[in-house]
Amino acid sequence: MKPAVFFDRDGVLNQDTGYLYERTKLRWLPGAREAVKEVNEAGYFAFVVTNQSGVARGLYKEGDVQALHAWMTEELADIGARIDAFAYCPHHPEAIVEVYRTSCACRKPGPGMITSLMQRFQVDPVRSFLIGDKHTDVEAATRAAIRGYLFEGPNLEHFVKNCLRNR
């Protein structure tokens, strides 16, 4: 078993501009790509867990989310970093797109995305943690029985180094 860092996406890895799905609008936060590389070099899995209710609201498609994540993967590879898996929740209880209208365990603060990745990759929960920018992210971590850290800026690489030192 191997430890993992679960990153929220919008507000942690990139600027939260609201319903982001276009790569031309993605702006990496300071130290974000380097933080992922730090996690890789420390021997941890690096995962992204992100609520994407824009799909449920009909603003974009799941394919748009997947395309953005593929592009982010390429951007990270440019500096020798990688995300081991992306997980996203397209659901919302008040969805406009009926197929996505549900209250589910994967939508944070539910732990579903985290626990699913933990099972799929045989993650060590004792040494794993989540970094999010909202209290619902930290609550999802708590519900998944891992530590959660609230990131408020300014530099994710420095933040991650401190988190790794304290593990």
Domains within the chain, CATH numbers bracketed: 4-165 (3.40.50.1000)
Question: Does residue 113 register a pLDDT over 90?
Answer: yes
Closest CA to 143 of 104, 119, 114: 114
Q: Is 137 a catalytic residue?
A: no
Q: How far apart are CA 158 and CA 35, in angstroms?
A: 8
58 pLDDT band (50/70/90 cuts)?
very high
Q: Quick one: pLDDT at residue 167?
A: 74
SS3 for 121? helix
Take residue 144 and report the two structure tokens written for it.
């998944």
Mean pLDDT (whole number) for 43-49: 98
pTM over 0.95: yes
Sign of CA dihedral 60, 62, 65, 68: negative
pLDDT tens readout for residues 122-162: 999 999 999 999 999 999 999 999 999 999 999 999 999 99
Q: Is 133 a catalytic residue?
A: no
